[in-house]
Amino acid sequence: MELHILGSGSKQGNCYLFKSETQDREILILEAGVEFTKIQKALNFDYSKVVGAIVTHEHGDHFKSVPNLLNAGIDVYTGGLTHKKMGTDVFWRAKNLTENRTIEIGSFSIVPFAVKHDVVQPLGFKITHCEMGTALFLTDTCYSPYLFNGINHMLIEANWSEQIIMQKMKAGIKKKFLVDRIVQNHMSLGTCKEFLIQSDLSEVRNIILVHLSDDNSNAIQFQQEVADLTQINTFIADKNLILNLNKTPF
């Protein structure tokens, strides 16, 4: 299984492709917050292998290209309230997800679960496939309501640093209402690390830090701190990065 990152973060937009190397080379799209042309190019303008797209919530950096995907004949799965709010519920390829109910999309098995964000129905995902085991996708939430067992790959938000954001607020660079919104809706490095400490990491092969803030994070520092804490391969999600998520390292 290859993970192709087309973007991660508010400015880049968020989009990830899980590309199977067997199973008819199926492709699952995760998030659709980059320009549709970028998704088209990454797919070589061939949608035939795409089994569907799953989307966490309606903010533009995650949802932007959902109408384009639907018009291209690709099933898009997200919360029913999300489709309704965005008006995409009128498309027959708009599919509703229910929290904690497993759904099969091609050879991928998906479990959506509720997270904490300022939208109508924010979701995280457990994504299982025979090639990679189980990947956890946890973003745009101030903390995780759950702990998980049997995870092989973690794509987890580390959006901001308390030290950086407080320094900027004291210097007058960041207004308090903006800081409050970030704190209430996005996972800090400290919260990410606490989640990892509390989690069973015995089967985790890769940790991918997603959705870093352009203004309130330090990618090198974040990667080093998580790698030192966990002793697990740690990556920063960035556009055009390709990672091997196979169950075995080679």
Q: Per-residue pLDDT tens for 139-189?
A: 999 999 999 999 999 999 999 998 888 777 677 766 676 777 887 889 999
**Domains of the chain by range and CATH?**
2-244 (3.60.15.10)
Burial class (CB in 10 A: 0-12, 13-18, 19+), 168: middle
At residue 133 the predicted structure's pLDDT band, cuts being 50, 70 and 90, is very high
- Distance, in Å, from the CA atom of 66 to the CA atom of 106, rounded to the nearest integer, reads 19
Taking the chain, what is the end-to-end CA distance rounded to the nearest angstrom? 11
Q: Is the pLDDT of residue 249 over 60?
A: no
| pLDDT level of residue 250 (50, 70, 90 thresholds) | very low
CB 1 within 8 A of CB 205: no
- Token pair, residue 220, equals 């090198």
Cα–Cα distance for residue pair 148/29, rounded to 1 Å: 22
Confidence of residue 23 (pLDDT cuts 50, 70, 90): low
Q: What is the mean pLDDT of residues 221-232?
A: 98
Residue 216 has which token pair? Answer: 């309130």
**For residue 242, what are the β-bridge partners?**
4
Among 72-81, 164-173, 207-216, 217-226, the minimum mean pLDDT is found in: 164-173
Share of the chain above pLDDT 70, in %: 95
Higher pLDDT: 120 or 175? It is: 120
